[in-house]
């Protein structure tokens, strides 16, 4: 298997992992498990496993990058990692009020939020195609979120939490592409997840004590931690440098149909024709926004 195909598979599997996450969180909620306990279990497992993996990696690879991780780099990664924990918290709250198929659409508003952020941080990278793509994504969102359907009652609380999740996810994406890039992926992921765990504790605080127990950790924490905190960032950090940000972003958008389809299979959530049209429009917007980046793949 050539390096390019490996990169595509890495990103696709990472997107699939993220895509099924909300479905199983909602399934766990329906089975009587509280969101605070689930979120804390997910990040606790992620932090513990990444600590072990980082120690093992540092012993196997005695590099200057690992031995010389500065306090400044650690603090930066942990601060940006708080966006990771807040993304999960707001996203999991959102799907308590709206269907998972709508929640994932709200989360992916990071598509146009990322363009806005890029306009203020690197204006030279923003062109007319990206602006049009962002507008197209918003139109697709209105269809996918059932705004034009008469038989749907929009829950403002769910929409608000979903948009907050998207805002935090935009911050997470910024961190993964800009912060401490000189460090190995395992180390960067480790400190980002540490920051995520801290924000989970601060966000949910006393509710964690009420809902967390080791049964929650074993039943759901390991599963959610592996597929939501360990696998996606490691695979994205591995795959994006090989295939480039443009193609990587397009493949990562597979998270949307995967999430919608998994909700249909596991939760029996009905998906209307207009929703599928909206999802296709959003995917086209992702392609439009990223098609002109023309980033050259990096050889593995």
- Other residues' Cβ atoms within 10 Å of the Cβ of residue 146: 22
Q: Collapse the DSSP code of 244 into the 3-class scheme (helix H, G, I; strand E, B; otherwise coil) and give the result.
A: coil
Residue among 17, 26, 18 at smallest CA distance from 266: 26
In the chain, the percentage of residues whose pLDDT exceeds 70 is 85
Residue among 219, 220, 235, 133 at smallest CA distance from 176: 235
* pLDDT value at 6 more than 80: yes
- Other residues' Cβ atoms within 10 Å of the Cβ of residue 115: 21
- Encode pLDDT of 181-214 as tens digits: 778 888 888 999 999 999 999 999 999 999 999 9
Q: Name the range with the highest mean pLDDT among 4-18, 161-175, 198-212.
A: 198-212
pLDDT at 125: 61
Whether the Cβ atoms of residue 139 and residue 105 lie closer than 8 Å to each other: no
Q: Collapse the DSSP code of 153 into the 3-class scheme (helix H, G, I; strand E, B; otherwise coil) and give the result.
A: coil
Helix (H) / strand (E) element for 270: namely none
pLDDT at 258: 86
Q: Which of 19-33, 52-66, 95-109, 253-267 bottoms out in mean pLDDT, i.e. has the lowest?
A: 52-66
Residue 152, C-beta contacts closer than 8 angstroms, at least 6 positions apart? 146
Q: How far is CA 119 from CA 114, 127, 214, in A?
A: 9, 9, 45
How far, in whole angstroms, is CA 275 from its chain's centroid? 21
Q: Which of 20-29, 184-193, 217-226, 272-281 bottoms out in mean pLDDT, i.e. has the lowest?
A: 272-281
- Encode pLDDT of 77-99 as tens digits: 999 899 999 999 999 999 999 88
DSSP annotation of 140 reads: H
pLDDT at 64: 45
pLDDT at 63: 52
Q: What is the mean pLDDT of residues 42-49?
A: 95
- Encode pLDDT of 63-74 as tens digits: 545 555 788 888
- For residues 189 and 185, give the distance between their C-alpha atoms in angstroms, rounded to a whole number: 6
* pLDDT value at 288 more than 80: no
Tokens for 261, please give them: 């389809």
Tokens for 177, please give them: 């592409």
Tokens for 149, please give them: 């359907």
* pLDDT value at 276 more than 60: yes
Would you place residue 130 in the very low, low, confident or very high pLDDT band (cuts 50, 70, 90)? confident
Q: Collapse the DSSP code of 1 into the 3-class scheme (helix H, G, I; strand E, B; otherwise coil) and give the result.
A: coil
Tokens for 158, please give them: 């769910």
- Other residues' Cβ atoms within 10 Å of the Cβ of residue 80: 22
Tell me the whole-structure pTM to 2 decimals. 0.84
Residue among 20, 39, 149, 144 at smallest CA distance from 87: 39
pLDDT at 96: 92
What value does the mean pLDDT of the chain take? Answer: 82
- Encode pLDDT of 204-262 as tens digits: 999 999 999 999 999 999 999 999 888 887 887 778 777 765 566 667 778 888 888 89
């Amino acid at each position: 298997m050539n390096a390019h195909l490996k990169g595509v598979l890495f990103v696709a599997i990472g997107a699939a992992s993220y895509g099924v996450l909300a479905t199983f969180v909602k399934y766990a909620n329906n089975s009587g498990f509280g969101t605070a306990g689930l979120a804390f279990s997910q990040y606790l497992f992620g932090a513990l496993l990444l600590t072990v993996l980082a120690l093992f990696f540092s012993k196997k690879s005695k590099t200057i990058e690992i031995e010389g991780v500065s306090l400044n780099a650690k603090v930066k990664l942990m601060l940006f990692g708080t966006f990771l924990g807040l993304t999960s918290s707001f996203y999991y709250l959102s799907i308590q009020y709206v269907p998972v198929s709508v929640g994932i659409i709200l989360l992916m508003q990071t598509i146009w939020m990322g363009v806005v952020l890029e306009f203020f941080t690197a204006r030279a990278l923003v062109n007319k195609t990206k602006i049009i793509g962002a507008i197209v994504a918003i139109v697709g969102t209105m269809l996918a979120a059932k705004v034009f359907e008469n038989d749907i009652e929009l829950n403002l609380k769910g929409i608000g939490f979903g948009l907050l999740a998207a805002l935090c996810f935009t911050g997470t994406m910024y961190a993964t592409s800009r912060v401490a890039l000189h460090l190995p992926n395992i180390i960067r992921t480790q400190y980002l997840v540490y920051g995520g765990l801290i924000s989970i504790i601060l966000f949910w605080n006393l509710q964690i004590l009420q809902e967390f127990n080791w049964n929650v950790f074993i039943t759901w924490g390991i599963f959610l931690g592996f597929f939501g905190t360990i696998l996606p960032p490691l695979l994205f950090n591995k795959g994006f440098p090989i295939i480039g940000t443009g193609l990587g972003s397009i493949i990562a958008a597979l998270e949307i149909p995967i999430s919608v389809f998994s909700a249909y299979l596991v939760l029996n959530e009905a998906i209307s024709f207009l929703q599928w049209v909206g999802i296709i429009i959003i995917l086209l917007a992702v392609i439009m926004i990223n098609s002109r980046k023309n980033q050259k793949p990096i050889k593995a």
